[in-house]
């Protein structure tokens, strides 16, 4: 029958271009199991890694395995996870905590959210193993309040795990006890920073504190604490289950495993992708992402969230891992990837990202509080056509100091979009400042007056009717003209012109 | 022996010391704004940046623990540029009103601007105030526009006075220090006791003493250390005097004093008005024919001695009682009760602190 043949021809997931180059370790179950049913997770070998770790392995062995896996923190910093656990394990103290950072504040990022909503038990399992490895008996998940579904599913997952005795006392019949609390964040980006996050859990103002001491020595309520990102913990069951060697098959030498990216912007296939580290930007953008919307030219890609860097076309073949990104002034961050096409103004992009970090600065340290404010003022001036000679140099100097002098990662990275756009698109800044032109035609204040191509104009008069400034003159059936002095560059004429004879 | 290297020279240090403490202990100058040896450390202002030679990074000397073999530099172009930029930024958000400012001559920000030769911020000056002046109480004026958010007031209030009356409110560029519900220090929900320690710790004139405003600046004032007369604790205080008038009372920092971190109460800090009060008693008064009349000390003491002896001899010591004051020292209170028991033969002694 005809219908059946048609269904036979439907491709498998792996055959779709979008999935061909992906490797799903973290997102393995997302979309395939019912996240509200613990049985679904258990059926997919769920909690077997925890059982193995807790009943058959010593804490030292677990830490060794994680170290061997080369897993690095997926929250942005890329610190080796095994080493972090080692510090927490070695720290002296009766009471220790495990914290999961699920604050995910980067605009447009939803990697952690997908996992929390699609496979919450995987996170709990990862945290259990970590708790056992460092001798913690209590854990906190700090999850942003803007994720109500994630919170609901996490709560459900925790109570299901408690019912089965997977959380609570004497887990798997051993001496190991572990309970997990949920703490809802209140919408501050900076509370994703680990010291601010812990202050927030303690009920204090969510501002970062100087390190040392590191959380492993003195974290939550002054106790040794291990804090990792959602995705980091979600990698643990795979590593314990399959061994570090299997994990190491994916990724590059210094960045093993996979990374989930949130692909957005001017790209055909947007969404979450999980790829082995070391894939090139070109692979992600063209093979997985399907290329640029409307087949326009590629201009740049911003990686690492609002404080990441803008990477230009010359770097499309860059193999992405922690170190390669850092080297070119960008960063892995939590995995945001915003693709920009040829119509994007890079000065405006820098202004856009800095607007976010500036308004999220907690205000504690001077360079971040005042430095980002002044940088933003300069960028606003430039995009409004008020740029001055020396502005670029000022931005570079100030950006460098903010990075070097700020207290926490927010300030230390906030200038990145500005510095990288200056580095790779300096000519656009110069055009704005010296020629008072926005090459991409995005900055309203710099749009030139509109002109009518006399050869194409059919004299229909529609433009004349819509012009709010009465800048257009001409007789019916004759070519019209625009008075550049009177034109306010609103573009209304170009929009109505039936023969596309008007441009600026 | 453990040693750290600062600017190429080795220095010994005690465990737990920071690079700033070691440097200062050896007369190496590192500018600071948010650091105070009396308070916890926050590393907020970023003025004390030094270069860690291990990796070339800039770190705050006030938070960096000294450790064996650590090598830092406290003065090079990179450090100077960073410190100057930080200062430049602070000044871009600070009113250029030194001419009329209470803190002129006693302002850490002004001193640093002088040291780094910044006449005006390279980002332009602050042209308009962003906040309202906060002076809905009798003692302390807060001008958030002059505040550099070093947080010393907040820490002094919380760590020394333990009032927790003020905290940062808002965030980022909008941050300011505020009392509960932003109702001011004298507000209904404020736990401020007006000890003035916040003012004392303020490096600028963001906080100032209201009664002292416009009455003279640091270099016009004569300083006189004294013991507070209000109670027996014996707090050390510093009177600031202009001409013959007490203008304000500052803290004294002395480890041997009962208030080593400059702690004071509202009375010691603000209740000095009596000193120059025209109503103040300067001579003993004896009531004659229903009127108080000035007398000499000899006359007054004789009068007291005669009458106390007379009452004791005629009616017995039990007819006499004595009440002494918490403003006296322990020793004075002791003498009082001893005198009453041994000489006046009475056990009726009492002290105002029991009321
Ligand atoms: C401003 C700022 C925001 C951050 N936001 C997050 C976040 O939303 N989620 C996260 O996991 N880590 C975030 N981090 C990184 C954390 O401080 C910390 O490095 C991370 O939670 C450690 O976990 P990992 O080792 O597993 O990456 C942020 C850091 C900074 C400086
Ligand atoms: S004095 Fe060290 S940061 Fe302020």
Tokens of A272: 């979450």
Residues of the domain holding B326: 285-352
A394 pLDDT more than 70: yes
- Cβ–Cβ under 8 Å, residues B88 and B77: no
Question: What ipTM, to 2 d.p.?
Answer: 0.88
By percentage, how much of chain A surpasses pLDDT 70? 98
Determine the distance separating the centroid of ligand 2 and the alpha carbon of A229, expressed in angstroms. 30
End residue of a domain, out of A247, A271, A299: A247
What is the count of structural domains for chain A?
4
Q: Do A369 and B175 touch (CB under 8 A)?
A: yes
Q: Is A404 found in the same domain as A273?
A: no
Number of the ligand closest to the Cα of B86 = 2
**Residue A25 within any structural domain of the chain:** no
Integer angstrom CA distances of residue A61 from A94, B142, B314: 21, 58, 95
CA gap A251, A257 in Å, rounded: 5
Which residues in A128-162 are b (16+ Cβ under 10 Å) and which e? bbbbbbbbbbbbbbbbbeebeebbebbeebbebbe
Q: How many CA atoms lie within 13 A of A152 on its CB side?
A: 6
Q: Is B32 exposed, middle or buried (0-12, 13-18, 19+ CB in 10 A)?
A: buried
Question: What CATH number should be reported for the domain holding residue A359?
Answer: 1.20.1440.230
Question: Residue B16: which CATH number?
Answer: 3.10.20.740
One domain for residues A178 and A302: no
In a domain? residue B11: yes
Residue whose CA lies nearest to ligand 1 atom number 5: A192
Q: Give the minimum alpha-carbon distance from A368 to chain B in angstroms, rounded to a whole number.
A: 8
* C-beta B43 within 6 A of ligand 2: yes
Residue B148 lies in a domain: no
| pLDDT single digits (tens) A84-102 | 999 999 999 999 999 999 9
Domain check: are B328 and B274 in the same one?
A: no
**What pLDDT is recorded for position B251?**
97
Task: Please give the span between the terminal C-alpha atoms of chain B, in angstroms, as a whole number.
Answer: 58
Give me the mean pLDDT over the A419-429 stretch.
Answer: 97
- From the list B57, B63, B172, the residue facing A363 with the nearest CB is B172
**Is the model's pLDDT at A447 over the cut of 90?**
no
Residue A225, classed as helix, strand or coil, is strand
**CATH code, domain carrying A474:** 3.30.70.20
Residues of A in contact with B174 (CB under 8 A): 363
The two structure tokens encoding residue A267: 């790209």
Q: What is the mean pLDDT of each run of 10 residues along chain B (355 residues)?
A: 92 96 97 97 97 96 96 97 98 96 97 97 93 95 98 98 95 96 91 96 98 96 94 91 95 96 96 90 93 95 96 95 87 94 95 76
Closest CA–CA distance from residue A86 to any residue of chain B (Å): 22
- Cβ <8 Å between A367 and B174: no
Confidence of residue A5 (pLDDT cuts 50, 70, 90): low
Tell if the CB–CB gap between A405 and B82 is shorter than 8 Å: yes
| Torsion, Cα of B141, B143, B146, B147 (10° steps) | 90
Q: Is the CB of A107 under 6 A from ligand 1?
A: no
> Residue B274's domain is classified under what CATH number?
2.20.25.90
Contact A209/B at CB under 8 A: yes
How many folded domains does chain B comprise?
A: 3
- Are B268 and B226 members of one domain? yes
Of the partner residues B42, B86, B149, the one whose CB lies closest to the CB of residue A367: B86
* Residue A1 pLDDT > 80: no
Task: Say if strands A451-452 and A502-503 run parallel, antiparallel, or are unpaired.
Answer: antiparallel
- Within a domain: A18: no
Nearest chain A Cα to B64, which residue?
A212
Residue A107: what pLDDT?
84
Domain end call among B45, B75, B105: B75
Rounded CA separation A263/A108 (Å):
9
Tokens of A365: 């340290």
The pLDDT of residue B353: 77
Model confidence over A159-205: pLDDT tens digits?
999 999 999 999 999 999 999 999 999 889 999 999 999 999 999 99
Q: How many CB atoms lie within 10 A of CB A43?
A: 11
State which of B39, B45, B148 you would mutate to test the pocket of ligand 2, scoring each by most atoms of that ligand within 8 A of its C-beta: B45
Q: Contact at 8 Å (CB) between B4 and B71?
A: yes
Supply B269's token pair.
Answer: 């800090």
Ligand 1 atom at minimum distance from A81 CA: 25
Contact A174, A54 (CB under 8 A): yes
Q: So what's the pLDDT on residue A474?
A: 92
Cα–Cα distance measured from residue A469 to residue A463, given in angstroms and rounded to the nearest whole number: 11
Last residue of a domain, one of B58, B75, B92: B75
Residues B260 and B291 in one domain: no
pLDDT higher than 70, residue A493:
yes
Question: Strand, helix or coil at A438?
Answer: coil
Question: Is there a single domain that holds both residue B271 and residue B335?
Answer: no
| Any atom of ligand 1 within 6 Å of the Cβ of A79 | yes
Last residue of a domain, one of A405, A434, A463: A434
Mean model confidence pLDDT for chain A: 94
Distance CA B180, CA A85 (A): 41
Task: Give the Cα separation of B247 and B209 in Å (integer).
Answer: 10
* Among chain B residues, CA nearest to A401: B82
b vs e for A6-22, b when ≥16 Cβ sit within 10 Å of the residue's Cβ? eeeeeeeeeeeebbeeb
Those of residues 341-360 in A touching chain B at CB distance below 8 A are 358-360
Q: Which residue has the tokens 């090459």?
A: A439
Ligand 1 centroid to residue B28 C-alpha, Å: 37
Residues A337 and A350 in one domain: no
Model confidence at A2, pLDDT cuts 50, 70, 90, reads: low
Query: Which of the two residues, A212 and A378, has the higher pLDDT score?
Result: A378
Buried b (16+ CB within 10 A) or exposed e, B139-178: bbbbbbbbbbbbbbbbbbbbebbebebbebeebbbebbbb
Asked if the model's pLDDT at residue A22 lies above 80, the reply is: yes
Q: E strands along chain B, which residues?
A: 3-6, 9-12, 49-52, 57-60, 71-73, 140-142, 166-169, 176-179, 207-209, 222-227, 236-242, 245-251, 285-288, 291-294, 322-324, 349-351
Provide the pLDDT for residue A77.
87
> Where is the domain boundary, A192, A223, A247?
A247
């Amino acid at each position: 029958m005809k219908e059946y043949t048609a269904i036979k021809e439907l491709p498998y997931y792996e055959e779709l271009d979008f999935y061909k180059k992906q490797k799903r370790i973290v997102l393995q179950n997302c979309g395939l199991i019912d996240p509200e049913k613990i049985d679904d997770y258990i059926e997919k070998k769920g909690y077997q890694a925890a059982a193995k770790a807790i009943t058959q392995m010593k804490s030292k062995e677990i830490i060794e395995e994680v170290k061997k896996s080369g897993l690095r923190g997926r929250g942005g910093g890329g610190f080796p996870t095994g080493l972090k656990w080692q510090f927490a394990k070695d720290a002296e103290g009766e009471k220790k905590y495990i914290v999961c950072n699920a604050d995910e504040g980067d605009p447009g990022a939803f990697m952690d959210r997908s996992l929390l909503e699609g496979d919450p038990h995987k996170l709990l399992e990862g945290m259990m193993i970590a708790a056992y490895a460092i001798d913690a008996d209590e854990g906190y998940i700090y999850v942003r309040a803007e994720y109500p579904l994630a919170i609901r599913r996490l709560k459900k997952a925790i109570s299901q795990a408690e019912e089965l005795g997977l959380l609570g006392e004497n887990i798997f019949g051993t001496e190991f006890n572990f309970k997990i609390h949920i703490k809802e964040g209140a919408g501050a980006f900076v509370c994703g920073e680990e010291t601010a996050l812990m202050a927030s859990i303690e009920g204090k103002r969510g501002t970062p504190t100087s390190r040392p001491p590191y959380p492993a020595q003195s974290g939550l309520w002054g106790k040794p604490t291990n804090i990792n990102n959602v995705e980091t913990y979600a990698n643990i069951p795979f590593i314990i289950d399959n061994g570090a060697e299997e994990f190491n098959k994916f990724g590059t030498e210094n960045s093993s495993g996979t990374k989930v990216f949130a692909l957005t912007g001017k790209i055909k296939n947007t969404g979450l992708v999980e790829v082995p580290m070391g894939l090139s930007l070109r692979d992600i953008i063209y093979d997985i992402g399907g290329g640029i919307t409307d087949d326009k030219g590629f201009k740049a890609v911003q990686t690492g969230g609002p404080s990441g860097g803008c990477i230009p076309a010359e770097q499309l073949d860059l193999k992405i891992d922690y170190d390669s990104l850092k080297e070119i002034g960008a960063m892995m961050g939590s995995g945001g990837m915003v693709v920009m096409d040829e119509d994007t103004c890079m000065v405006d992009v820098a202004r856009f990202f800095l607007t976010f970090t500036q308004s999220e600065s907690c205000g504690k340290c001077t360079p971040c509080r005042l430095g980002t404010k002044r940088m933003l003022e300069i960028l606003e001036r430039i995009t409004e056509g008020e740029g001055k000679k020396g502005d670029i140099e000022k931005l570079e100097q100030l950006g460098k100091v903010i990075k070097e002098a700020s207290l926490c990662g927010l300030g230390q990275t906030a200038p990145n979009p500005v510095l990288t756009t200056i580095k790779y698109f300096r000519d656009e800044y110069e055009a704005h400042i010296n020629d008072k032109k926005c090459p991409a035609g995005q900055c309203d204040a710099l749009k030139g007056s509109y002109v009518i191509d006399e050869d194409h104009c059919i004299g229909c008069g529609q433009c004349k009717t819509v012009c709010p400034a009465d800048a257009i003159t001409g007789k019916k059936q004759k070519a019209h003209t625009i008075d550049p002095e009177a034109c306010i560059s609103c573009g209304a004429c170009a929009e109505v012109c039936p023969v596309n004879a008007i441009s600026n | 022996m453990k040693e750290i290297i600062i600017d190429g020279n080795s220095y010994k240090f005690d465990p737990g010391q920071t690079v700033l403490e070691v440097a200062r202990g050896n007369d190496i100058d590192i500018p600071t704004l948010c650091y105070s040896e009396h308070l916890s450390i926050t590393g907020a202002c970023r003025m004390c940046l030094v270069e860690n030679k291990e990796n070339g990074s800039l770190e705050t000397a006030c938070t960096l623990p000294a450790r064996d073999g650590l090598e830092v530099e406290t003065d090079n172009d990179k450090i100077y540029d960073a410190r100057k930029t930080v200062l430049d930024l602070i000044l871009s958000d600070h009113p250029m009103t030194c001419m009329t400012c209470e803190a002129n001559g006693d302002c850490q920000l002004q001193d640093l601007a002088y040291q780094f030769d910044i006449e005006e911020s390279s980002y332009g000056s602050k042209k308009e105030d962003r906040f309202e002046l906060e002076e809905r109480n009798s003692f302390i004026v807060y001008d958030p526009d002059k505040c550099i958010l070093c947080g010393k007031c907040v820490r002094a209030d919380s760590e020394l006075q333990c009032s927790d009356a003020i905290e940062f409110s808002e965030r980022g560029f909008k941050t300011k220090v505020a009392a509960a519900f932003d109702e001011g220090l004298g507000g209904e929900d404020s736990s401020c006791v007006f000890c003035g320690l916040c003012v004392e710790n303020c490096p600028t004139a963001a906080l100032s003493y209201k009664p002292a405003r416009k009455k003279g600046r640091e270099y016009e004032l004569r300083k006189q250390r004294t013991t507070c007369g209000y109670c027996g604790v014996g707090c050390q205080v510093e009177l600031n005097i202009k001409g013959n008038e007490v203008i304000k009372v500052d803290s004294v920092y002395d480890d041997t004093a009962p208030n080593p971190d400059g702690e004071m109460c509202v009375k010691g800090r603000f209740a000095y008005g009596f000193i120059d009060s025209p109503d103040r008693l300067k001579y003993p008064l004896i009531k004659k024919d229903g009127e108080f009349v000035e007398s000499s000390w000899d006359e007054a003491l004789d009068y007291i001695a005669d009458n106390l002896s007379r009452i004791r001899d005629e009616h017995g010591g039990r007819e006499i009682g004595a009440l002494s004051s918490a403003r006296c020292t322990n020793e004075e209170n002791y003498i009082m009760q001893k005198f009453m028991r041994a000489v006046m033969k009475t056990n009726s002694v009492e002290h105002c602190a029991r009321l």
